[in-house]
Amino acid sequence: MNLFGLIGDPVGHSISPAMMNAAFRAQGEPAVYLPFRVDAGEVEIALGGLRAIGAKGVNVTIPHKIAAFNWVGSRTREAVAANAVNTIRFDQHGSVGHNTDVSGWWRSIADAVPEGPVDVAILGAGGSVQAILTALSMHRPEAVVEVIARNAEAVSRLQAHFADSLNIRHAAWEKRADAVAKAWVVVQCTPIGMWPRVDEAAIDDAGVFQPGQVVQDIVYRPLETRFLACARSGGARVIDGATMLIGQGVDAYEWWLGREAPADVMASTVYEALRKEQAL
């Protein structure tokens, strides 16, 4: 039985074990995926222990992605560009760090992002934003990206990191409605509207959104945030945050096992779990 898992703090809420174990069962893979809560400061010990007992790979979630980046023996292009590791593969050569937040986000939205110099608005400037900017730099380097955030210093760091690959501008949080209104693709990356504060929204005016816009909220509890409901009312095409979770899981599975993942099984498992939560 091959061991895979998830390390983070907390991990009890994660849907990843259900998603990955459903994928293993669907393909008759002799493997199990388990959650491991790991305290800050013990990431290196935990990863070393998992490698020592023969684990094949792990996902890494908040707050350990930087520690994992520093621990691994080598890193993929995506991990280096995102400056974080969320997926590790153990093998006879040691450990390789990857970032499937990058590829998973792109998988979730790629068919909706037109070619060429598309205008993109991103709300927030945290770690998920760096992964999204990495994907854009790889797949849509002509994009003009407006990062809408209160923390101008964080945006400046992103501008410096992607200076050679992406045109990034800063918009003040107070100007977010104007920035969103003129963008073709909008991605909401703050925790605003996440359960249990479901009545909150980064923008709650449907008139800000336009028909034909592509609007995603990476929050997936609830599946349709107030932000997405407003965007839908304004005529936008909306994409929920579960798509990114599923995309990164599919890419981790394929990177670990070298075979096509049962994406439909993984998606149905995630949506069923989330709908059950909402029904409680």
Is the pLDDT assigned to residue 142 strictly greater than 90?
yes
pLDDT confidence of residue 107:
96
What CATH number did the domain enclosing 225 receive? 3.40.50.720
The SS3 assignment for 197 reads coil
Q: Is 65 one of the annotated active-site residues of the chain?
A: yes
Same domain, 108 and 196: yes
Q: pLDDT tens for residues 243-257? A: 999 999 999 999 999
| Count of the separate structural domains present in the chain | 2
pLDDT value at position 126? 85
Q: How confident is the model at residue 279 (pLDDT cuts 50, 70, 90)?
A: confident
Same domain flag for 161 and 84:
no
Residues 172-189: pLDDT tens digits?
999 999 999 999 999 999
Q: Do 83 and 163 sit in the same domain of this protein?
A: no
Residue 280 pLDDT > 80, yes or no? Answer: no
pLDDT at 242: 97
Residue 230, domain extent:
103-240
**Residue % of the chain over a pLDDT of 70:** 100
Do 195 and 255 sit in the same domain of this protein?
A: no
Cα(24)–Cα(68) distance, rounded to whole angstroms? 25
pLDDT of res. 6: 98
Answer whether residue 19 shows pLDDT above 90. yes
Which range, of 112-116, 117-121, 200-204, 271-275, averages the lowest pLDDT? 112-116
Do residues 58 and 111 share a domain? no
Predicted local distance difference test score (pLDDT) of residue 116: 87
User: Which residues have C-beta within 8 Å of that of residue 202, sequence separation ≥ 6?
Assistant: 123, 176, 188, 190, 192, 193, 227
Among residues 56, 65, 175, 182, the one annotated as catalytic is: 65
Each residue's pLDDT tens digit, 33-52: 999 999 989 999 999 999 99
> Are 85 and 145 found together in one domain?
no
Question: Region 150-177: what's the mean pLDDT?
Answer: 96
Per-residue pLDDT reduced to its tens digit, 51-99: 999 999 999 998 999 999 999 999 999 999 999 999 999 988 899 999 9
Give the mean model confidence (pLDDT) for residues 217-243. Answer: 96
User: HEC states along 151-175?
Assistant: CHHHHHHHHHHCCCCCEEEEECHHH
Predicted confidence at residue 200, as pLDDT, reads 95
Question: Do residues 87 and 144 both lie within one domain?
Answer: no
Any residues with CB less than 8 A from the CB of 9 and at least 6 apart, and which? 37, 38, 39, 40, 62, 63, 64
Tokens of 236: 């936008």
Distances (CA, A) of 108 to 168, 205, 240: 22, 25, 9
The pTM score is 0.93
Do 83 and 184 share a domain, yes or no? no
Enumerate residues 6+ apart whose C-beta is below 8 A from 130: 82, 83, 84, 158, 161
- Amino acid 231: pLDDT: 98
**Mean pLDDT within 128-140:** 95
Same domain assignment for residues 208 and 250: no
Residues 142 and 186 in one domain: yes
Q: For residues 190 and 89, state if they share a domain.
A: no
Mean pLDDT score of the chain = 95
Rounded distance, CA 160 to CA 262, Å?
A: 38
Q: How confident is the model at residue 21 (pLDDT cuts 50, 70, 90)?
A: very high
Query: How many separate helices (H) and strands (E) can be counted in the chain?
Result: 11, 12
CATH number at residue 26: 3.40.50.10860
On whether both 263 and 215 belong to a single domain, the answer is: no
